[in-house]
């Protein structure tokens, strides 16, 4: 597999009706492109918090809050991929593949809530 340069295809990722766009440090400095493809969206990408050796603690705290939100989404995706093996999928028709995705998401929700659901009884 040939390595690709990390270029963000904003036209494919954004449809224009977004209200928020989240991204990590890799998307920093692309606010103008985000505004072009999603004019109504608020840019929640991480900002630079250290400039010329001076640390801006307020910006650092904002970045930490943004990262917490992103981590919740990435954790759910990790459970879907690692626990339930939804990494590569053979094409069996849109309806069957969509059904498998929906069932996998439901199982991932149960898996992540298992401690609250089982209480003292379970793993």
79-98 pLDDT tens trace: 999 998 888 878 889 999 99
87 and 72 co-located in one domain:
yes
Same domain, 37 and 62: no
pLDDT tens digits for range 7-16: 667 667 777 7
CB neighbour class for 70 (10 Å; exposed up to 12, middle 13-18, buried from 19): middle
Would you say the pTM of this structure is higher than 0.85?
no
H or E element at residue 45: strand 42-45
- Same domain for 53 and 92, yes or no, is yes
Q: Would 1 be classed as within a structural domain?
A: no
Mark whether 40 and 62 lie in a shared domain. Answer: no
Q: Are strands 54-55 and 50-51 parallel, antiparallel or unpaired?
A: antiparallel
- The predicted pLDDT at position 68 comes to 87
Residues 64 and 122 in one domain: yes
CB 67 within 8 A of CB 46: yes
Find the DSSP H helices in the chain. Answer: 10-13, 31-37, 57-78, 94-112, 114-118
Q: What is the pLDDT of residues 23-81, one digit of tens each?
A: 777 777 777 777 777 778 877 787 777 777 777 788 888 888 888 888 888 899 999 99
Can you tell me the distance from the alpha carbon of 123 to that of 119, in angstroms, rounded to the nearest whole number? 9
Pair (35, 70) in one structural domain: no
Range of the domain at 83: 49-123
Helix, strand, coil share (%) of the chain residues, nearest 5: 55, 10, 35
Q: Assess if residue 2 is contained within a domain.
A: no
């Amino acid at each position: 597999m040939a390595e690709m340069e990390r270029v963000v295809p904003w036209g494919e990722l954004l449809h224009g009706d977004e209200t928020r766009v989240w991204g990590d440090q890799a998307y920093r400095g692309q606010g103008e492109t985000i505004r072009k493809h999603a004019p109504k969206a608020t840019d929640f990408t991480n900002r630079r918090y250290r400039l010329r050796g001076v640390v801006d603690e307020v910006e650092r705290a904002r970045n930490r809050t943004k990262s917490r939100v992103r981590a919740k989404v990435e954790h759910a995706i990790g459970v879907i991929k690692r626990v339930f093996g939804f990494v590569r999928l053979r094409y069996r028709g849109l309806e069957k593949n969509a059904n498998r995705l929906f069932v996998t998401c439901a199982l991932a929700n149960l898996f992540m809530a298992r401690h609250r659901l089982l209480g003292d009884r379970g793993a």
